[in-house]
Amino acid sequence: MHKVESNGAEIPAIGLGTWDIRGAQCVEIVSEGLRLGYRHIDTAQGYDNEREVGEGLRASGVARDDIFLTTKVWHDKLNAGALEKSAEESIARLGVDHVDLLLVHWPNPDVPVKETMEAMARVKRDGLTRHIGVSNFPIALIDEAVAVSPEPIVTNQVEYHPYLDQTKIVDACRRHGISITAYCPIARAKVIGDPVVEDIAARHSRNPVQVALRWLIQQPGVIAIPRTSSKTRLAENLDIDGFNLTDAEMAAIADLARPDGRIVNVAWAPKWD
C-alpha cells in the first residue's frame, strides 16, 4: 500500500476507521487489522474507544513505530489549555507516548481558529503528536487555519465517497499541499448494489467496496479510512493494490455524485462548500 506525502507526513493510503466500534470487538478488529497489514489506525476522543484501540495495538504484536496512529480533539475542547489537556488524556487512554497525527475533529465557531491552531502547535512541539491536521473544515476555514497555524497542516479529514462531490475542498487542500482523508468512503455500504460500481467491479473481478476505495486512493493526495467490524471485510478492504481503474471508470464513478449525497450532517457542522 502506497503512502501519501503531505507537508512532511507520510500517511498510509488505506487506514482502519474505528468509529462506533467499542469494547472487546474494537480490540479484536484493531489487532486483527494490524496483523493483516494495516499500518494506519484512526480513532477519536469522541468515539469513546481510545483505550480499546490502544489495547488492540499492543495485542497485535506490531511495533509501535510501524503504525501511523491518528486521534482527534472534540469541538468543545478547542480553547487554549483545554486542547492540550484533551491531547494528554487521549495519549494516556491510548497507552502510548505520542500519536502520529492529532486532528481538530470539528470546527467550533465560538473559538478563534488561531487560538486552536496555536494550541495544536504546542501539543506538537511538546512531542505528543508528530503531525497536526483538521477534520470537517470547509474551504474558508482551511485557508484561515493555514494562514494562522505555526505548524504545517497535513490533512483535512472529510466525508468523501462516490455520491458526494468534494472537488472544491480537494482542490483547496491541494493548493496548500494538504492531503484529504476520506471518511464514510463507501457511503456506509451504499456502493454495494450500485449498478455502475458493480459493473466496474465485475470487469476487474473485484467487489464494489474495493472499487470505491480504489477510486479514492487513485486520486492524488487522497487517503481512505474504511470502517468495518467484519474480519473478512478487513482483508478485502486492504486488498486494493492489484488493479487500476481507467480514466473512463474514474469519471463514471465521479458522475454518481448527487446534491443529496452527504450522509453526515450533524447539528454542529459548518456550512459546507
83, three cell numbers: 486542547
Q: What is the pLDDT of residue 215?
A: 98
Residue 246, pLDDT above cutoff 80: yes
Which of helix, strand or coil describes residue 227? strand
| pTM of the entire predicted model | 0.97
Q: At what angle do helices 50-60 and 23-36 cross, to 10 degrees?
A: 40
Per-residue pLDDT tens over the stretch 109-167: 999 999 999 999 999 999 999 999 999 999 999 999 999 999 999 999 999 999 999 99
Query: Is residue 272 pLDDT above 80, yes or no?
Result: yes
The three three-digit cell numbers of residue 36, written as one number: 493483516
Burial 131-153 (b: 16+ CB within 10 A, else e): bbbbbbbbbebbebbbeebebbb
What integer is the mean pLDDT of 69-94? 98
Active site residues: 47
Q: Is the alpha carbon torsion for 46, 208, 192, 271 positive or negative?
A: positive
